[in-house]
Every structure is written in structure tokens, then in C-alpha cells.
Amino acid sequence: MHLTILLVGVAALMAANAQQDSSNCETSCGNLTITYPFGSGEGCFYSSDFLVTCNRSSGEPIPYFRKSNIIISNISTDKSEMEIKASVGSDCYNSSGPTESRFPNIRLGNVRISAKNKFVAIGCDTNAYFIGKRGNEVDGTGCTSTCGRKSLLRNGTCSGVGCCEVAVPEGLRSSNMTIRSFNNHTNITDFNPCSYGFFVEQGKFNFSTTNLLGFRQRMPMLLDWGIGNLTCDDAKDTDNFLCSGNSECDQDYDGPGYRCRCKEGYEGNPYVKDACKNINECERGNHECDHDDQCVDTDGGYMCTCRKGYSGDGRKDGAGCTADQSTLIKIVVGISASAIFLLIFVTWLYLILKKRKLIMLREKFFKQNGGIMLQQRISRDGGSHDQAKVFTIEELKRATNNYDDSRIIGKGGYGTVYKGVLSDNRIVAIKRSKLGDQTQAQIEQFINEVVILSQINHRNVVKLFGCCLETEIPLLVYEFIPNGTLSDHIHNKGKSSAFTWDIRLRIATETAEALSYLHSAASVPIIHRDVKPMNILLDDNYVAKVADFGASKLIPIDQIELATIVQGTLGYLDPEYLQTNQLTDKSDVYSFGVVLVELLTGKKALSFDRPETERNLAIYFLYSLKEGKLFQVLDENLQLNDVPSEIIQVSKLAERCLCVKSDERPTMKEVAIELQGILTSMVHKHPWVQSNSNEDEGEYLLKELTNDYERTNDDNVSSSTFDTMSKHTMLPIANGR
């Protein structure tokens, strides 16, 4: 009897193996691929649990599980799973009562409901549950779904409001579903006439509130399957054991039955002999070798190699490949030589590019700062005998210690002035304009100052040594005048007390001589246009130096006036120029008249701290002079008991300079001559001239003053003729630049 049973089993196995490879077995039904142990047709499946019935009567073939109405949508042999389209149970009502109840039951044999499913119930008055068998045991579960307030309904969640879900116990081979209503859907049949219950693969159902109105569809559900009822250890000794060749029995599967899987490094159908084929990890890039070209495919795996001159396991997670000693020396020498060459090349290239970039940047700034314009204006005169030097930015950085704050000697609306020491130990003042938008008018103004100062050679005009156009901010280099501005000495209480009348008169005379030279002795007349104490510098011997020619204008010889935009400092502006925009040399005369009044009174030209009648110094001075109150407005630091004749003469001269009509004002040459006469007269009357011990010194001083004046008026310094009709943008009138 035992022999007979054995022969029958062997025959069944031979028939099964013969049929699974037979061309008579169907490999597909509709969209489903049928793979062994499943099959359609006699002898094409392992057992009745794996029968696939393909129904072609309704047009599109439909695969059913065995001879049931369960539709199969997918079969997976590597996971030993089967996906079916599960029916949805329902329990429906209307205002009259129940209308429909459908409770689908599932009978699976040795196939089980996967624990990867969820049991879901939909409804507002729903209690759904199922009961199934696991071997000889009965198990089941369910959930309750209500709605309460409709506002609590949320799409995408099954938390018990409109939808609930529960985990499926593992190992069930059947299911009997039951769906009940608590209140027969009373008062909610309009938006939820039915309760629904179904199994669905986890993650493949997303609740929507519209499901409450109707839910008629099949849901994807997973089933687990195994071969027979024996475990791996028991089945491997049987004649119909399917895990052979490159497949092995899955020891992690706890039954019932057993499952096959392809060995590591193989893929395919583990239930068919020799269907598990080798995976080429090298081609797929699924390896741990250092490089793809070091990967060598083997049957069921791969190995990593090292190229010539290297040794090791060649794996990323291992020792990798290391160079042999001789190879290592060659590599080190080669890398070192290459690195040195590359470093030298990169350094050389960097220096070349940096130098080129620096040259291009300097050319850009040179053009931006009016370098071409400066060259053109100088070339019109054929070049100057005493041209200003063009300094490099490195020279000026060294001179100012890279523009250190300790070198700052002045700040204003125009920018900052630094004290610098050149390489030849000359002390200079370096004017650094404020960084801002480089308008054409500003560039013209800067070039204007360079051109004017470069052609002036007068002891009472600040000397321009040169300029620098290589930086974003244009720079001017002047002689250094150490004693500050005339404004400092007039208005600083600590200095004004020592600022005697004879010093003030001499400074006024020197300033007038400088302006007279600019108006009449220069080859091209120059109007300063911003005469004020701030622009008159003093050296250690209180010698006056007229400075700041940024607002100046050159007047062609055949013209006596220019139409310009008004520019200057409030309080010093010629009222006629302010009204007509017609600039003449008499505009400087008016401004100089205000300077004379400041020297006499020690007061600022314009101050809103004074009473309204005294705010404008020029008007207040003329009023006081007319009313015979000159003594009351004179600077108390002069320490006068009465008004000397020299002060009266200077006051009368200031009055003439301050005439509203320019025709009634004297020229600067006339002003200089008159001041020189007053100074000469005062020197003759000075006590030191009448003292025997100081007689030679007084005569020497008088002679020097006279010679200086004659020398100033006889000098004929060559200058260039420049186009003065270029437009100038009006700068802020408050800061005078």
C-alpha cells in the first residue's frame, strides 16, 4: 500500500512538472500574467488552490480565483502574494426602511487573507464586522462609524467619523461580513443612504466625504499563499518539493505550508526549476566595488579586483585597493611633480590676470575720473613747463599710511583731507573726494580744479603738486599748509585773541593780491567763485594761501562775464550774480568784501543764532557804518579804544566792495593796491619803525612788502587757454562746494 501511494505521488509530480512547461498552458488572462504554481487548464497548476479560471464569455478575459467569483488582478511569486478585486458589502435604507443588503463572504482554502489589509467601514450609522477561521479557531473584528455633526467630517481620515478602519488578524482563511445600522439611517438617507464594509490593501484607500453618497466598486485586497501544509524541513524530503536549483525554502515563513525564494544573486520564479537566473550586479551598478571596471560578475554574485600595481579586496566597505610600494613611489613622485607644476602655472596665471585686471581697472578709473578730458585740455596749450605730477595709488597709500584716520586734517562736504609724507620727505595735503555718483558735472569740476591750479604759480595761492586718477575716488595732492584756515583764526576764541589787526590787514592784502593775480595777471582770467575764510589757508608765518578752486571758472579774454548756474556759499554770494546768473570778476570782489567784514568784526557771514537784523553780516555792517556805529561792530579781540584810520579806510573799502551793483565795485587790482597802501602807511606809523633799535628791521619789512607786491604784479606766468563754457552742476550751496 505504501508503495502504491509513493508511485501515485511520483506520477503526480511528473505530470505537474511536465505540464508547467507545456505549451498548452495559458500564460496570461487579460492583463494578468499567470505563473507557476498558478495555472489555467488541467495539469498547469500545482494544486486546486492555484487554479486560475479564465472567463472569456463576456469579451475581455477575466481571471477568477479557482471557480469562485473572486477576480485576480496580480500574482507575485517572489513575495508569494496574490492581489484580488474584493467586493464591497453594503446595507442600504430609504425613508421606508431597508432596501438592499449585500454581505460578501470569502472562502480561500489554504490561501489566507494577508495582514497587510485593513477592514474599512463607511457610514454615519454603521456597525461593520467580520468573522473568519484560522485553522480550527474562529477570529474576527470590526469597527463603528458615526457622523455626529457633519462639520467633523474630514477627507483622508478614517477615525470613526464617517469612516472607520481596523487591522486584519493574520492567518484567516475565510471571512463572513456583517453590516448593521443603529437607527436604520433615520434622517440621514439624503446624504448617507448606505453603510459599506470591505477589505483593502493598506495605503490604497483614501476616504472622501462623497463616499457617503454611494460606494460601488471593487477594492484591491492581498492574499498570502504557500505550498501544501508541510514546513520547509518536512517538505524538503518529499518528492514534490518545489524549491530546487537556485531557489531555496524561505525559513522566515512560519506557514502553513512553505514558500520558495531565489537565492541571493538570482532572480526569477523560484517555484520553477532553473528559473532563478543570475543577476549581473556589475552591469546594474549594484555592487560595492571601488570602481565599475573593477567589478567581475560571478554566478550568484560578483567579485572586486584591483588594477595592476594595486592589491586588496577592492571593496568600498573593505580595505579597498592600495598601491604597491613601487607604484606608490611613482604615484607620489608624479603627483608631486604635477602639483608643483600646476602651482607654478596657477600662480603665474594668477599674477598675469591680476596685473591685467589692475591695469584695466586703473584705465577704467582714469577715464572715469576725466583723465582723457585732462589730457585734451592740457594738449590744447601744447603742454605746461610745470605740469602737475600724476601720482600712483601706491605712492599715496604709503604717504598716508593707507589713509589712516590719524592722518585726517580736515573734513567737509567735498570729502576728506589727509596729511601725507611723500618718498622725498615732502609733507603734502591729499584731498580725497567723497564717493558718490560720478556725474559729468562732477568730473568736469574735478578736472577744472586740476587745470587751474596746475597753471598758477603765486606765493599766495596753494600749490598743486599733482593728482591721482587711478582710483575710484579722484585725489589731489597740494602743498601742506600747517596753520589751518583763516576761519579758524577769526572764529576760534582761543586763536582770535592773538590775531592782531596788523596780521589781519596783511592777510587781507595777500588774499587781494592773489585774487588780483587770478583776475588780471594770469594769461586766462580766473574767477574763484567761492572766496571765503574757509578757503584761505595760513602757513606758520600767517602767510595767506588761497585754496579750493573746485568751483572756479576760466574767462576767455574776449569775454567779461559768463552765464552759469549759481554756485557758491550763502552769505558770500554776489546778489547781482544770484539774480542774473551772470558771473564776473566783480563777484569775487563782493565775496572778498564779506571776508574784510569778517576780519573787522570777528563774526560769521551768516548766523541764525543772531537777531534777525544781524543775521546777514554784510547788510548789518553796511547799516552800522551808515549809522556811524562802526566801533560797536568791530571785533572786541582787537582791543581798540578808538577806531584807527586804517580800520576806517578798510571799512570804506569793504563798503565799496559790497555794493549791490557790480559796476560800482572796485576791481580786485584796485582793492589790492588800496590795501597795499593802507598796509604801507600803517608800517610807517608803527612804533617799531620809529625805534632806533628796530629801524633796520622796519625798513626791511616795508621793503619786502613793497617788493612782494611789485613782484606779484610783474609776474607773467604762462597758462593755457581752456574752454570755460562747459556746464557745471550746482553743488549744495550750504557747504560752498
- Tell whether 431 is in a known binding site: yes
Is residue 686 classed as helix, strand or coil in its secondary structure? coil
- Which three cell numbers, joined as nine digits, stand for 89? 458589502
Of 49, 125, 224, 530, the active-site residue reads: 530
Grid cell, residue 416, equals 576728506
Rounded Cα distance between 274 and 259, Å, is: 16
Enumerate helices (H) and strands (E) in the chain, giving the number of each: 18, 37
Its sign, for the CA torsion 388, 391, 395, 401, is: positive
Measured CA to CA, the distance from residue 379 to residue 139 in angstroms comes to 110
Q: What are phi and psi of 220, to 5 degrees?
A: -70, 130
Largest CA distance in the chain: 168
Burial of 54 (0-12, 13-18, 19+ CB in 10 A): middle
CA distance 716 to 710: 12
Secondary structure (3-state) at 401:
coil
381 is annotated as an active-site residue: no
Distance set, CA 362 to CA 355, 356, 359, 596 (Å) = 10, 10, 5, 45
User: Cα 136 to chain center, whole Å?
Assistant: 73
> What's the number of CA atoms in the CB half-sphere (13 Å) around residue 149?
2
C-alpha cell at position 606: 551768516
> Amino acid letter at 645?
S
Beta bridge partners of 146: 125, 161
- Percent helix, strand and coil across the chain, each to the nearest 5: 35, 25, 40
Please identify every residue annotated as catalytic. 530
Residues making up the annotated binding site for ATP are 431
